[in-house]
Amino acid sequence: MVVTYIYHSGYAIEFDEFSVIIDFLKDAKRDEKTYWVYDYLLSKQEDLYVLCTHSHSDHFNPEILLWKEKKPNIHYIFSKELLLRQKTSPQDACYLDKGDVYEDENIRVEAFGSTDVGNSFLFKHNDLWFFHAGDLNNWHWNEEVSKREALIYENNFLCELELLAERVDHLNVVMFPVDPRLGKRYMRGAEQFVKRIRTDYFLPMHFGECYEQANAFEKYASKHGCTYLAITHPGQSFRLY
């Protein structure tokens, strides 16, 4: 199994039988002449599952709907929020609201909540569990808002985290925001996550070009038995399991 950081919150996961790409924003170079998605993933014979957690422009690129013209064996699994915001049409995808499940012979996808819009996705293949947070995070903004408001944001996150923890107490791979824009305590949501749910591998997202700040989370992750996979550039891959 290979996990590749595409850009921002976009990740691709390749299994022997199929591949998954989540929250594609823009492509990453695979080598000097080719790109990961347009030249490689869309050319593979195996099925491709395209997941989108919500409609924000840094998570949803409408170009993904054109991929079916190049690759017939493609499956779109979107948050229902995209449909409600009229970003997509009913025939474009299978839509999941919080609590909904998509399942076929390859993958099981469960929609969980967010502390912004849309959903986060828990998905499983064989005995491996993956979680992509979308915009689920402790968006406390405690340097910009009142203490009371920051606590409300934090409580919303902890409630969503508890619902996930009630479903699964061990995750193999987690993709989660580590966003320096939150200020000094920008890692707080990620810290609370790995402390509450046992995580094998942690991959950061939603950090833009701030690689150093994102990778500072490695020290905390290791304290909780979690292997942090440091990101240094788009198109970086990790072979796991």
Residue 55 in this model has a pLDDT that exceeds 90: yes
User: How many angstroms separate the CA atoms of 163 and 136, rounded?
Assistant: 12
Lowest mean pLDDT among 54-58, 73-77, 141-145, 173-177: 141-145
Average pLDDT, the chain: 97
List the CATH number of the domain containing 115: 3.60.15.10
Residue 36's pLDDT is: 97
Residue 145 in this model has a pLDDT that exceeds 90: no
Residue 100 in this model has a pLDDT that exceeds 90: yes
Region 152-169: mean pLDDT is 97
Q: How many domains does the chain have?
A: 1
User: How many angstroms separate the CA atoms of 59 and 8, rounded?
Assistant: 8
Region 232-240: mean pLDDT is 98
Percent of all residues in the chain with a pLDDT value above 70, rounded to a whole number: 100
Spell out where 53-127 has E strands.
74-79, 94-96, 101-103, 108-112, 120-125
User: How many angstroms separate the CA atoms of 216 and 46, rounded?
Assistant: 36
Residue ranges making up the domain that contains 223: 2-239
For residue 56, name the pLDDT band (cuts at 50, 70, 90): very high
User: How many angstroms separate the CA atoms of 186 and 147, rounded?
Assistant: 16
CA 34 to chain centre: 24
Whole-model pTM? 0.97
> Around 6, how many Cα atoms within 13 Å sit in the side-chain half-sphere?
22
**Separation of first and last alpha carbons in the chain:** 6
